[in-house]
Amino acid sequence: MTVRTRFAPSPTGYLHIGGVRTALFNWLFARRHGGQFILRIDDTDEVRNLDAALDPILQGLAWLGIDWDEGPGKGGSVGPYFQSERSDRYRAAAEQLLASGHAYRDFATPDELDAERKEAQAAGRPFLYSRKFAAFDDATAERFQAEGRRAVVRLKMPREGSLVLEDAVRGRVEFAWEREQDHVIQRADGSCLYHLATVVDDHDMQISHIIRAEEHLSNTPRQAFIAQSLGYPLPTYAHLPLVAEPGSRTKLSKRRVFQPRTTD
């Protein structure tokens, strides 16, 4: 197997130590195994993207000596390497999930979803969407549309059983499907969200190992479900411990500024 890893920063902020650590692990693993390290820009969040953030990310990696084999400025055979240029690919994947029954169009309003959450909270039980406003066929969708509703596309997550994976860092991990929400993968305007986009890209770019911080561990069930529903083989997952604040087990915030210690 050819090892292919990736670092996929979002230009919603500047390069920080956690991102550098993730990039370094991916780069070292690819170099150790004679594979390729891919740089991909996850710029699906048009509202939060910062035009000024991209160049410092690229320049910072270059300054650190973390070079990439494919990506911005290098090209490659499985591009484009900006998610904003891959929208058609994501929409096609969303349609495939709808056609196979692994996703559905949901016409619930934010107020209706909030009411269900509050009802679950008052009853002391975890919130799990009732799918009351789901459209599993065209006739139902047309009825909701006639009421002036707009649909998002949600994953139809399993509600029984569990997902078991062997994490390269953490060992055996298990996720109960009943705890997973029906996550939105496509907005009402047709644009697709991160979880669908990253799974499609990792498959198309032939990523063999996903090495990332443990804060992404909770994302793994929905991403594995998307991959399996699309018929993709699962990559190897490796979730690294968080970068903690000095003298603490609290995650180091990129907004936190630490002053150097002084001695008398």
How many whole angstroms separate alpha carbon 13 and alpha carbon 30? 26
Count the Cβ atoms, other than its own, within 10 Å of residue 261. 6
Our answer to whether residue 254 is catalytic in this structure is yes
Show the CA angle centred on residue 203, arms to residues 4 and 25, nearest 5°.
30
Show the CA angle centred on residue 90, arms to residues 84 and 93, nearest 5°.
175
- What are the strands of the beta sheet with 184-186, ordered from one edge? 134-135, 103-106, 152-155, 184-186
Say how far residue 89 (Cα) sits from the centre of its chain. Answer: 16
Question: Tokens 């994302």 belong to which residue?
Answer: 219
- Pair 151, 144: CB distance under 8 Å: yes
Q: Which DSSP string do the residues of 187-219 spell out, in sequence order? A: -TTS-B-HHHHHHHHHHHTT--EEEEEGGGGGG
Catalytic residue among 74, 118, 132, 254: 254
Which residues are the active-site residues? 254
